[in-house]
A = this chain, B = another copy of it.
Amino acid sequence: MASKILIIGGTGYIGKFIVGASARLGHPTSALVRDTTPSDPAKAKLLAGFTSSGVKLVKGDLNDHESLVKAIKQVDVVISTVGGEKLADQTKIVAAIKEAGNVKRFLPSEFGVDVDRAHTVEPAKSMLAAKIHIRRAIEAEGIPYTFVCSNYFAGYSIPTLAQSDSFAPPPKDKLTIFGDGNVKAIFVNEDDIGTYTIKAVDDPRTLNKILHVRPESNIYTHNELITLYEQKSGKTFERIYLTEEEVLKKIKEAPFPVNLMMGINYSILLKGDTANFEIDPSFGVEATKLYPDVKYTTVEEYVSRLV
């Protein structure tokens, strides 16, 4: 029997992919929502989509302990996909899981670099620290967990060719590269992140482990990604390289939250935090090796669709 899954933060950027995968892969799926009939039409449409996929909407709130405990008691697995601004609030989920006492696995909101092995500067550093804090709280409480490090969101980084200062595709004619652009990074399609995450929830091999998502065909340097796009599109970009010192100065001078975005790219594209370490079996497992049957979207396919 597939475990029953509750997703907290399911209407967010990555949350909706996790909700979608959970329903698609046959798990009885609920999504915690503050309001089952929201006035915001975009949110209402999203929730209607959930319902039509068989997802149950459970009214509750991170800040309403009783509602949280009640929702958690109905399921086996809790997945948090709360946004960057609510990471610290996940201590409330930890407390509710502890009280409910029935949870077989908790996946906190991660879905990025391995925060215990990353290198960045403020304010991105504080965001990673919030995730680290939740990891330690989960371990201290003895709650069974999987931490999903799904690396760089493809839908976020590929359409703009991983720029920190422009999020609207198409990519600009001049591209800024943090460092020499020869550092490997791992780009993962959001639908695939959903699939691998849900595959992991009932798998004993991922219990109390970090699930690293490292699709072999999706490891590119920034330069290689740009070159691939150039080849597929016939366009050519001017590449402006910034030294580490120049990048740190830019981060220092940018207002929030632009500096946060830059700090994430500094970690991934200059420090290489998605790919600069070996996965040691003592702490981690790799998703494409555990689930070789999943046909993931390659960066090449992704770029081909864009151009």
Contacts and interface: CB of A to CB of B under 8 A. Distances in A.
Contacts of A14: 255
A78 to B, nearest CB: 20
Given A84-B123, A86-B126, A248-B41, A167 B256 contact: no
Interface residues of A, number: 41
Contacts of A156: 255, 258
Nearest to A254: B13
A202 interface: no
Contact of A252 (B11, B84, B153): B11
B123 A249 contact: no
A245 interface: yes
A166 B43 CA distance: 25
A85 B41 contact: no
A24 to B, nearest CB: 20
A116 interface: no
Contact of A42 (B11, B84, B248, B258): B248
Nearest to A250: B42
B123 A256 contact: no
Contacts of A176: 168
Interface of A: 11-14, 40-43, 46, 83-86, 88, 121-123, 126-127, 153, 156, 163, 165-168, 172, 176, 245, 248-249, 252-261
Across chains A and B, which 6 residue pairs bring their CB atoms closest together, nearest first? A257-B257, A84-B256, A42-B249, A165-B168, A13-B255, A85-B123
